Amino acid sequence: MGRIAEDCGVAAICLHARTVAQAYSGRADWEAISQLVQAVDIPVLGNGDIWEAEDAIAMIEQTGCAGVEVGRGCLGRPWLFRDLAAAIGGQDQTVLPSLGEVCQIVRRHAELLARLWGEDHGMKDLRKHMAWYFKGFPVGGELRHTLGMVGSLAELDLLLAQLDPQIPYPVGELGRPRGRQGSPRKKVTMPWGWLEDRCGLELDLSEAEVDTSGG
């Protein structure tokens, strides 16, 4: 498939090295990324199980990929990209924001979502990010629950003000999976007729991702 993509003129390929049956479970097979790097001349970006900047460096070293794509590792940790930029530039840096700094980032995230979609819709979208942002911090069950139901910027401010800004980053969370994990799929559903004749089909795949996106 990589060679077909190259022949079609695509500029680069990103490979998520899990099978459909694995879904988000188990580990990505970085060897598959190496094989794709060997098979094509265009840049290959590797994806799967990058939780920290050092994972990105390890993937680049092990597979020879030109760059990486981050999935779940940045959920509630947008500062991971600063660590990645530093590591790829040869520096060792792990950003460890205090709870107060995380609150400032949450506030900024909320403002941007409100600007993009309006306050009501924006706050609904923000709710799912709360569990990721505060993962590992001693926030308390009730406040955590209320943050996950936030309805306005004003309410968000009141909730964030209840947190102790001095609390340090929970370093035990570093390197640990976050976001969806789950179990392998028992049944993989392919487009109708796909396994019988992969070449002769005229498939309309224009909306194929709509129902299956990781989001």
Q: Among residues 110 and 159, whose Cβ is nearest to ligand FMN?
A: 110
Residue 132 CB, shortest distance to ligand FMN, in Å, is 10
Residue 157: Cβ within 10 Å count: 13
Q: Among residues 25 and 93, whose Cβ is nearest to ligand FMN?
A: 25
With beta carbons less than 8 A apart as the criterion, state whether 203 and 190 touch: no
Q: Percent helix, strand and coil across the chain, each rounded to 5?
A: 40, 5, 55
Residue 157 CB, shortest distance to ligand FMN, in Å, is 26
Tokens of 20: 């459909």
Residue 178 CB, shortest distance to ligand FMN, in Å, is 9
Q: Among residues 73 and 122, whose Cβ is nearest to ligand FMN?
A: 73
Residue 16 CB, shortest distance to ligand FMN, in Å, is 4
**Which ranges constitute the DSSP H helices of 118-140?**
119-133
Residue 39 CB, shortest distance to ligand FMN, in Å, is 20
Residue 21 CB, shortest distance to ligand FMN, in Å, is 14
Instruction: Find the helix or strand (DSSP H, E) in which 158 lies.
Output: helix 153-160
Q: Among residues 31 and 157, whose Cβ is nearest to ligand FMN?
A: 31
Q: Among residues 15 and 99, whose Cβ is nearest to ligand FMN?
A: 15
> DSSP state, 42?
S
Q: Among residues 132 and 155, whose Cβ is nearest to ligand FMN?
A: 132
Sheet containing 13-16, strands listed edge to edge, beginning at the edge strand earlier in sequence: 13-16, 44-47, 67-69
* Nearest partner of 165 among 127, 139, 130, judged by Cα: 139
Strands 67-69 and 44-47: parallel
Contact residues toward ligand FMN (CB under 6 A) are: 16, 28, 47-50, 70-73, 179, 209, 213-215
